[in-house]
Amino acid sequence: MQSGRCIRTLLGLAAAIWLVGSSVSPLSAADESVVEFIDAQLTQSWSDNEVEPSAAATNDEWLRRAYLDIVGRIPSVSEYDEWSATEAPRRKAELIDRLLDSPDYVRNFTTIWTNECIGRGTPRRVSRKAMEKFFREAFAKNRPWNEVVRDLVTAEGHFEENGAVNYILAQTQMRDDAVQLTAKTTRLFLGIQVQCTQCHNHPFNDWQQNQFWEFNGFFRQVRRIDRRRQDPNTGRLVDDYSEVVRQDFTGPVYFEKRSGLMQVAFPKVNGREIDPNSEDRRGELGRLLIESPEDDTPLIALAFVNRMWAHFFGYGFTRPVDDMGPHNPPSHPEILERLAVEFVKVNYDVPKLIRWITNTRAYSLGSQFDAQNSIDNPGGGEMPLFSHAYLRSMEAEQLYDSLIVATNAHQSGQSGWDDQEAQRRRWMQQFVVAFDNDENAESTTFNGTIPQALMLMNGELTETAVSAQPGSFLHDVLSSRENDAKKIHKLYVAALSRMPTRGEQAKARKLFREYGASGRVTAFQDLFWALLNSNEFIFIH
Amino acid sequence: MKRRHFLQHAAMAASAIPAAGFLSHVRANAATARANQKACILMWMGGGPPTIDLFDLKPGSKNGGEFSPIDTSVAGIQISEHLPRTATVFDDLSLIRSMSTREADHSRGRYYMHTAYVPNPTVTHPTFGSVVSHELASERESLQIPAFVSIGGGGGDAGFLGMAHAPFSVDASGRIRNAPTEESKARLPGRLAMLEEIESGFIKSRRGDLPKDHLAVYRNAVNLMTSSQMAAFDADRAVPGLGLERESTETRELYGSDQFGRGLLMARRLVQVGVPFVEVNMGGWDLHQNVFQTLRDQRLPQLDRGVSGLVQDLKQRGMLDDVVLVWMGEFGRTPRINQNVGRDHWAASWTAMLGGGGLRNGQAIGATDRDGVQIADGSKSYLPGDVWATVAHAMGIPLNTVHTSKRGRPMKLANGGTPIRELIG
């Protein structure tokens, strides 16, 4: 990725791309067979559970959802218009391809994985910029996922020169013998929760306390060095750079059983051991994680597929997504397994996996449901059947980027990638609360809360959006020669990616009359304010 | 909380109704006097405090650590020498020295201690503040701000009780971000009228409960931002009609000027305007290393001033019997001192503290053994459900209250815990 102007670049590119290609079917025969397999499995599961799937989402609804899921924002008015004007029989599959080729896809998944690896509030002595750069390159070059994981667990060097190092720096904030790094790595990349086995055998899954420490043994050769330098002005020592280097460590790890007995553990994962005298234990770990063992689907493939499915449907095959194992059987084991096997076959090609998932019938279903499938209610604790789309609240970053697109704020100002990221990050900080413990955990006060509502009602972004300043979307709409109905239509498309119904048009204009002739601008501002504050805007549906 | 339906006043014609009309009944409500109202202040010690060094010292044991015990105002109860102010107000506090809770992972422990239920992938249990909001918010006609406020932390999840009962999180500065300007307040009626159309259309579209929850949260937000009770968040503001004064230097000093002290002072102001549940977070207890120095120099002086200040202030104002205090973290810490002079996570035997609320305070209930590694023979052990059942009892929330999860499963209040007999006598 050489340029940062993602949203703008995409808007520019969209028109150009639209003119080329659309003659070839985006899905190969092999792709088709994966999609058909999933469709058949889910159809069977619906009939087994005696539910009828919901009707397909409207084209508009599907478009909005695909944009939010793949590129992390709603479509712009021009993108919506172009889509509406296209009549190609395969236009959904084509749009998916186009979105996967866009810089915003890279940006979206860079954000997601940076947040997973270092959190939203950047821990001390971690370079968010370099972590983002690492993922940006990984997704832009479509690097195989297993190589990405290997780079993260084996990373060494200066935290700005090798961005991958920041994962380890973020997970070694305390001198804890790499306990947090062990727990995080198994959760994030293997889909296994072992944090409680550091103290005792897992009550449910088959991880034993010794396995935690066996896995931990791989990370004992991690040594972080936090360099300091003298500030020439004050003469005081200040943070310079951090790096990860190899620690001289061989032999077993010692741990204490609950009984107080000391035990030893040698580096071992999934029953496979390495030479305890190895001087490159993490290199060995990287090799073990990405190798495909005989007959066994690699955990990193299963874990990634499960996460990716959850990304597009709101629920994975297990709950939580990062707690897989015999104690927590998946809802649709055949689909999970097949997707993981195919994912390995195509050499961990992430966009391919996304193509399979988003081309399924399930992904095209609407979010409205009826008695025929009201029992498919994972929000109420039921096993997800994927017989309708589940309502999801936008993540903070999706909301920010969507507000920017809906209000044209991306077209004013000339900020590049880094500036945009910095602006969004500053805005994000109001919602991040760090827990200040060894899990490096944080919570956000974002999802559906009063602070979120106050931000949307009174915040700067909304203020700007409805200010109707020259250059803004609202200003453009208001100064056009179109009639009020057309203008109202435009506001609906900008915010909700759909046209207003006839009833909505009539009611809006009735309310407009109350504002009188002198209040016309105010009326439009208030309508736009209401659209951006609505439940329909904030939910992915 | 009076459920002023914003859609109702939204329906008023935008330009025909001046802003003052929209806000006037808010003032009318605010002036209503309130009777004695019960409240709970949860002091949440994020990270898990080493209670063996605070409230259950083991002098003479290999696990004993560096601190010595001192006498408190209650004969026979001793606590750490670094909590001298707290020691003087112990008639109004009680220790439960036999908490035994199993969950020694931060997120699991946080969930368990806040909800009384162990984490379960198919259901999200409400944190107890949300339970209190659910039970009491509708009874508090004059309350216009959220019934559950969390200061300086996350505060947890309302789970199946719905977002309307989620904590309102603020930081200890009391600054409400994105508060409305006078102009945006004036614009509200028109804007809300427009919002009604879109909002209700989506609610009716058969997509489950979330669109309705969104409306409930907006309603709470509108109530909050148009309310004079907002002054409770700001120690500099006085609203005589609400009994709120500008806090004096002496009062501020009583609590301490750190985040915890300021958070507790804000909690008292919130309780004064009728908020039934306030959580005040104090972090920095995850002391895997250097435990004694950190306690002595940083954590305990702040804790000591905050807790003792709160008790004294509530007492002086005659509020203490109505406000039940809970002090705890997600677990205690290992009796054994590790090689980094720290203590690790430990849930098997630790101490929580209760106070005020009309409880029979001045007691130390339960005990651990000589080295603090298990509950002493013959001592009853306690779970978070027992703590919350005691709180419910003190607040007048019926113990046989049952909530229904979204799946239709009955969920007992406080997971069926029992009020601690010695405290409620």
B399 contacts: CB under 8 Å, gap ≥ 6: B389, B392, B393, B413, B414, B419
- The answer to whether the Cβ–Cβ distance between B169 and A449 falls below 8 Å is yes
Determine the distance in angstroms separating the CA of A378 from the nearest CA of chain B, rounded to an integer.
8
Peptide bond into A333 cis (omega under 30): no
Three-state SS for B393? helix
pLDDT value, residue B401:
94
Instruction: Report ipTM (2 d.p.).
Output: 0.88
**Which percentage of chain A shows pLDDT scores above 90?**
66
**Residue B271 — pLDDT band, cuts 50, 70, 90?**
very high
Which residue has better confidence, A248 or A88? A248
Mark yes or no for CB contact A458/B178 under 8 Å: yes
Task: Tell me how far apart the alpha carbons of residues A263 and A208 are, in angstroms, rounded to a whole number.
Answer: 13
Average pLDDT, chain A: 88
**Residue A371 and residue A406 in contact, taking contact as beta carbons nearer than 8 Å:** no
Would you call A189 helix, strand, or coil by DSSP?
helix
- Record the tokens describing residue A151, joined without a space: 């780079």
DSSP string, A416-478: -HHHHHHHHHHHHGGGEEE--STT--EEES-TT-HHHHHHHHHSHHHHHHHS--TTSHHHHHH
Q: Give the pLDDT mean for A238-261.
A: 86
Are B413 and B403 in contact by the 8 Å Cβ rule? The answer is yes
Radius of gyration of chain A (CA): 25
Contact A438 B286 (CB under 8 A): yes
Quote the CA–CA distance of A56 and A74 in Å, as a whole number. Answer: 19
Average pLDDT taken over every residue of chain B:
90
Residue ranges of alpha helices (H) inside B152-181 are: none
- Percent of the residues in chain B that have a pLDDT greater than 90, as a whole number: 76
pLDDT score of B26 more than 60: no
Tens digits of per-residue pLDDT, B32-48? Answer: 334 448 999 999 999 99
Burial class (CB in 10 A: 0-12, 13-18, 19+), B15: middle
**pLDDT at position B191 over 90:** yes
Write the residue in A320, A436, A530 that is nearest to B198 by C-beta.
A530
Residues 384 through 403 of chain B touching chain A, CB cutoff 8 Å: none
Least confident span in A2-16, A110-124, B317-331: A2-16
Contact A165, A157 (CB under 8 A): yes
pTM metric for this prediction: 0.88
Query: What DSSP character marks residue B83?
Result: -
pLDDT tens, position by position, A269-289: 878 888 888 999 999 999 988
Least confident of A319-323, A431-435, B136-140: A431-435
Residue A410 scores a pLDDT above 80? no
Instruction: Please tell me the predicted confidence (pLDDT) of residue B128.
Output: 98
Would you give the DSSP letter of residue B409? -
CA distances, A532 to each of A14, B194, B216 (Å): 24, 11, 17
pLDDT above 80 for A241: yes
Mean pLDDT, rounded, for A401-413: 76
Residue B151, beta-bridge partner list: B170, B280
Q: Are B191 and A519 within 8 A, CB to CB?
A: no
Question: Worst-scoring range by mean pLDDT, A74-78, A289-293, B36-40, B201-205?
Answer: A289-293
- Residue B421 contacts by C-beta under 8 Å, 6 or more apart in sequence? none
Q: Among candidates A459, A452, A443, which has minimal Cα distance to A409?
A: A459
| pLDDT attached to residue A206 | 57
Whether A258 has a pLDDT exceeding 70, the answer reads no
What is the model's pLDDT at position A417? Answer: 65
Mean pLDDT of A70-83: 96
Helices (H) and strands (E) in chain B, counts: 13, 14
Q: Dihedral of CA A232/A233/A235/A238: which sign?
A: negative
Q: Which residues of A touch B205 (CB under 8 A)?
A: 368
Q: Give residue-wise pLDDT tens across range B57-97.
A: 999 999 999 999 999 999 999 999 999 999 999 999 999 99
Nearest alpha carbon to residue B197 among A77, A349, A492: A492
Confidence band, pLDDT 50/70/90 cuts, at residue A16: very low
A435 contacts in chain B (CB < 8 Å): 46-47, 106, 110, 153-154, 283
Q: Which chain A residue shows the shortest CA-CA distance from B192?
A: A530
pLDDT tens for B284-307 read: 999 988 999 999 999 999 999 999
DSSP secondary-structure letter at A328?
S
Rounded average pLDDT over B363-368 = 98
* Range scoring the smallest mean pLDDT among A13-22, A413-422, B73-82, B176-185: A13-22
What are the tens digits of pLDDT across the range B123-160? 899 999 999 999 999 889 889 999 999 998 877 889 99
Residue B52 CA to residue B47 CA, distance in Å, equals: 15
With CA atoms as reference, report the closest residue to A437 among A227, A164, A195, A149: A195
pLDDT at A78 over 70: yes
Alpha carbon distance B323, B311 (integer Å): 10
Please list the residues that pair with A255 across neighbouring strands.
A263
For residue A98, the Cα-to-chain-centroid distance in whole angstroms is 18
Q: From the list A175, A381, A450, which residue is nearest B122 (CB)?
A: A381
Cβ A459–B211 below 8 Å, yes or no?
no
d(CA A72, CA A64): 10
pLDDT digits (tens, 9 = 90+) for B303-353: 999 999 999 999 999 999 999 999 999 999 999 998 889 998 899 999 999
Domains and CATH numbers, chain B: 1-31+181-225 (no CATH), 34-178+235-424 (3.40.720.10)
What is the pLDDT, as a whole number, of residue A25? 58
**What pLDDT score does B21 carry?**
30
What residue type is assigned to position A465 of the chain? A
Residue A198, both tokens:
């550091």
Rounded to 10 degrees, what is the CA torsion of B256, B258, B259, B260?
-40
Task: List the domain boundaries for chain A.
Answer: 27-95+296-390, 107-290, 397-540
